[in-house]
Homo-oligomer: A and B are copies of this chain.
Amino acid sequence: MSAKVITITREFGSGGRTIGMVLAHRLGYDFYDHNLVEKLAEESGFAQEFIETHGEDASSANSFIFRFNNSGCDTVDRLYIAQRKLIRELAEKGNCVIVGRCADYILRERTDTLNVFIWAKEEYKQNRVTSYYGETEEAIEKRLINKDKKRIAFYQYYTGRKWAQAYNYQLCLESSRLGIERCVDIIEEAARKFDETGKIEVTD
Contacts and interface: CB of A to CB of B under 8 A. Distances in A.
A32 interface: no
Interface stretch (A51-59, A95-103, A142-150, A196-204): A196-204
Interface residues of A, number: 40
Q: Interface SS of chain A: helix, strand, loop or mixed?
A: mixed
B186 A190 contact: yes
Give the oligomeric copy count. 2
A173 B171 contact: yes
Contacts of A170: 173-174, 177-178
A166 to B, nearest CB: 4
26 contacts: A119-B167, A121-B200, A123-B200, A124-B200, A124-B201, A124-B202, A127-B200, A127-B202, A128-B202, A131-B202, A164-B165, A165-B165, A169-B172, A169-B174, A170-B173, A172-B172, A177-B194, A177-B198, A178-B190, A179-B195, A180-B203, A181-B204, A182-B189, A182-B193, A186-B186, A186-B189
